[in-house]
Amino acid sequence: MINNSSAIGQGIDTLDVLFSGIFTNIVIAIITLLIGFIIGKILGRLLQKILHEFELDKALKHSAGIHISIEHFLGSFLTYFIYFITIVIALNQLGLTTAIMNMISGAIILLVIISILLAIKDFVPNMVSGLFIYQKGIIKQGDLISFDKLKAKVIDTTFIETKLESKSGDIIYIPNSLLIKKQITKLKKKKL
């Protein structure tokens, strides 16, 4: 009986030490978050007030014509930067920094890949269409064409777009992928 109660006592002591360590880490992480958020808010507002004293927004508006509130942007940036550092310190206290940072890194990489794909989604079809127009010689500089109820003169054809000039002198840029999808009629020189 004495051996069993001794083993139970050691088990309880081990759980007590384990939970007190975890509890201490959680309390320190929460205190770190609170202090960091307060410091971040104070420093962000302080920076914004200092920049306002220098009249940064007025100077940029007057000299460069920029109508964006740089004072507010920089103050908010500092606040959120301090928030981020505080969260990293709190996660480090809990021993979760590596896992969370890996997830954040993965999300950023995914966001960059999606942004690149969205940026080139129109570029690639226009490039392929431009190569097709160039290779087949469908239209050339100086040609008069009728395109989608529009009569115009071809000024320039690049791999991405075709530059047209209407009878009234308007310059029109048409993506090559759109140009290939529609019917193009070459006109005689006198029809424009």
Q: Where are the domains of the chain?
A: 2-120, 125-191
Predicted confidence band of residue 1 (pLDDT cuts 50, 70, 90) = very low
Q: Could you tell me the end-to-end alpha-carbon distance of the chain, in angstroms, rounded to an integer?
A: 110
Token pair belonging to 93 = 């206290």
Range 56-64 average pLDDT: 78
Range 145-154 average pLDDT: 86
Per-residue pLDDT for 188 more than 90? no
Predicted confidence band of residue 81 (pLDDT cuts 50, 70, 90) = very high
25-50 pLDDT per residue, tens: 888 899 999 999 999 999 999 999 99
Range 113-120 average pLDDT: 87
- Which residues sit opposite 147 in a β-bridge? 150, 184
User: Which 3 state secondary structure label does DSSP give 140?
Assistant: coil
Predicted confidence band of residue 171 (pLDDT cuts 50, 70, 90) = very high
- Which residues sit opposite 186 in a β-bridge? 145
CATH architecture type of domain 125-191? Roll (2.30)
Please indicate, yes or no, whether the overall pTM of this predicted structure exceeds 0.75: no
